[in-house]
Amino acid sequence: MKLEVKNLTKEFNSVVAVNDINFSIEKNKTLGLLGPNGCGKTTSIGMMLGLIKPSSGNIFIDGKDINKSEKNLLLSLINFSSPYVELPKKLTVKQNLEVYGRLYGVKNLKLRIGEIASDLNLINYLNKKTGELSSGQKNRVSLAKSLINKPKLLFLDEPTASLDPDVGDFVRNYIEQYKKKNELTILLASHNMSEVDRLCDNVIMMKEGKIVDKGTCKELIEKHGRKNLEDTFLKIARSNNEVA
Amino acid sequence: MRWHKIYGLSLRHFYLIRSSLPRILDLIYWPSIQIFLWGFISKFFTLSSDYYNNTVGIILSAAILYDFLFRSSISYNMMFLEEIWSRNFTNLFIAPIKLSEIITALTITAIFRTLIGLVPAAILAIPLFGVSIFELGLPLLFLLISLYIFGVTLGLLVTSGLLRFGPSFENIAWASLFFLAPLGCIYYPIEILPEWLQIISKVLPLVHIFEEMRNILINEVINYYSILKSAMISFLYFIMGIIIFYLSHSGARERGTLINIGE
């Protein structure tokens, strides 16, 4: 699926959280959404998920405006994972996946749950309550929920935050492998620059609600004369605003 | 309206209830306590004065019906609050479900939560106090439907408040029914109220429901017009509740509160 964001703006009581941003993600590509805390990443993702109403601008998914088209049809092809959004803790992993599978209208749900649980090493935890899992296990369950409907467009908000390096690497590896086998466009918001470097085809940098730079990781590193993406991020984050 | 989605959403609450015995006991505990309390109070009145003859039956029936209203409203609110407490709100609202499907799922599931609590209490009243709510017969079903519609409406209004003001509105969820109870003329006839309050209370379905309940138990006459009137008023409030819920959801999208309501 192709995602296009045109002149997107969000104001909260005259405070501009997102200021006239424009970008697109081509089908099957991964875009990194970077920026310091409070730069408007979450608000932007919220608008793309239909949770926040834009003050102006449009979001197109495969050419269809999400705020004008049959929203639920588009939402059935999208999903989202974030460590800051949890699944009901008292339900088992299997029950949570079953509930969300039904909400997304997944066919052959039992098979799909088995498949995804096996891929994400969750088979042994299927009958455990989600609240009893470690953060690494919960993170994988959240990822399983976000892939239950085989989305064509996936929003990942810091998918490896608070994970140990081993689990973090497992998740990154899994996303890479999954993307190779499936048709999937990803928008990845992350503060882990090596993760962005590894997973993203393109990157946009946000600051104070605006997109201040964009390009491939390599292009940005070269443009700013830094050794790696982390240094590039720091340079952009600490510099005065200059819209690319 | 897609029933498999409504079923999916209801399933989440059935799993939650099923997973915890204390949760089930909690559902049963409060209605039963209510029955015990009102049963003994009205028994005391009956034994102390001739004036209060037949009080046990009327007061206990009123207590059971009021608890049905209370439980249906609280059940509705609780299920919505569960989503906030479990920080599952974002997942729910990005799923391809219509607001009408969420409302339907909560409305259907709330009846099960309500009945889990109330059926044991209503049955308990039979051997303990010799009072059976089921003696109201077929009209009982209509009275319960009317009460349920109004209970769900109150639930909708509170959930609209939760969407608008966030979890801080939670206290209102608990207080909402106590606010309406005096005007509902649950335990006393409408004539007790000052005239100006009678006018206000007649706008609520409760007064018509409880007046009719007393009419059936005392006069042994069924006034279907009164029952229909209460159902119509409840239904009007229900429509209003749905509109307010949609407006609150739209307002929450405008203010961006859906994304961080549980935080």
From the list B248, B60, B246, B70, the residue with the least C-alpha distance to B150 is B70
Out of A12, A79, A89, the one facing B255 most closely (by C-beta) is: A12
The pLDDT, as a whole number, for residue A150 is 95
ipTM score of complex? 0.89
| Average pLDDT score over residue span B124-129 | 89
Is the predicted pLDDT of residue B121 greater than 60, yes or no?
yes
Is the predicted pLDDT of residue B235 greater than 80, yes or no?
yes
The minimum CA-CA distance between A61 and chain B, rounded to whole Å, is 15
DSSP code, position A102: H
Q: Which two tokens stand for residue A166?
A: 């081993």
B86 to chain A: which residues are within 8 Å by CB?
A: 86-90
Chain A contact probe: residue of B5, B15, B18, B91 with most A CBs at under 10 A: B91
pLDDT tens digits, A126-150: 999 999 999 889 999 999 999 999 9
Higher pLDDT, B135 or B55: B135
The pLDDT, as a whole number, for residue A122 is 94
pLDDT tens digits, A118-132: 999 999 999 999 999
| Average pLDDT score over residue span B129-143 | 88
The minimum CA-CA distance between B64 and chain A, rounded to whole Å, is 31
pTM of the model: 0.89
Is the predicted pLDDT of residue B47 greater than 60, yes or no?
yes
What is the distance in angstroms between the CA of the first residue and the CA of the last residue of chain A? 26
Question: H or E segment at B77?
Answer: helix B55-85
Confidence grade of residue B78 (pLDDT, cut at 50, 70, 90): confident
pLDDT tens digits, A152-210: 999 999 888 878 888 889 999 999 999 989 999 999 999 989 899 999 999 999 999 99
d(CA B170, CA A75): 29
What Rg, from alpha-carbon coordinates, does chain B have?
19
DSSP code, position B217: I
A52 touches chain B (CB under 8 A): yes
Interface touch A51/B94, C-beta < 8 Å:
yes
Mean pLDDT of chain A: 91
- Interaxial angle between packed helices B3-18 and B21-48, expressed in degrees from 0 to 180 and rounded to the nearest 10: 80
| Average pLDDT score over residue span B1-5 | 86
A80 to chain B: which residues are within 8 Å by CB?
A: 90-91, 94
Is the predicted pLDDT of residue B146 greater than 60, yes or no?
yes
| Average pLDDT score over residue span A47-75 | 91
A148 touches chain B (CB under 8 A): no
Is the Cβ–Cβ distance between B96 and A75 less than 8 Å? yes
Confidence grade of residue B105 (pLDDT, cut at 50, 70, 90): very high
Which value, to the nearest 10 degrees, does the dihedral of the CA atoms of residues B119, B122, B124, B125 take? 180
CB contact residues (below 8 A), chain A span 164-223, against chain B: none
Write the DSSP string, A36-53. Answer: -TTSSHHHHHHHHTTSS-
The minimum CA-CA distance between B206 and chain A, rounded to whole Å, is 35
B5 to chain A: which residues are within 8 Å by CB?
A: 102-103, 105
Higher pLDDT, B117 or B54: B117
The burial of A34, by beta-carbon neighbours within 10 Å (0-12 exposed, 13-18 middle, 19 or more buried), is given as: buried
Number of domains in chain B: 1
The pLDDT, as a whole number, for residue B203 is 94
Q: What is the number of other CB atoms lying within 10 angstroms of the CB of residue A76?
A: 19
Closest Cα in chain B to A131:
B86
Closest Cα in chain B to A43:
B256
Q: Which two tokens stand for residue A75?
A: 């939402």
- Dihedral-angle region of residue A40 (phi above 0 means left; psi in -120 to 50 means alpha; beta otherwise): left
- Determine the length of chain A: 244
Q: Which two tokens stand for residue B236?
A: 């009007």
The pLDDT, as a whole number, for residue B10 is 93
The residue type found at B190 is I
Range of the domain at B33: 3-259
The pLDDT, as a whole number, for residue B173 is 67
Is the Cβ–Cβ distance between A239 and A73 less than 8 Å? no
The domains of chain A, with CATH numbers, are 3-77+151-238 (3.40.50.300), 87-150 (no CATH)
Higher pLDDT, A218 or B1: A218
DSSP code, position A61: E
What Rg, from alpha-carbon coordinates, does chain A have?
18
Backbone angles phi and psi of A220, in degrees to 5: -65, -40
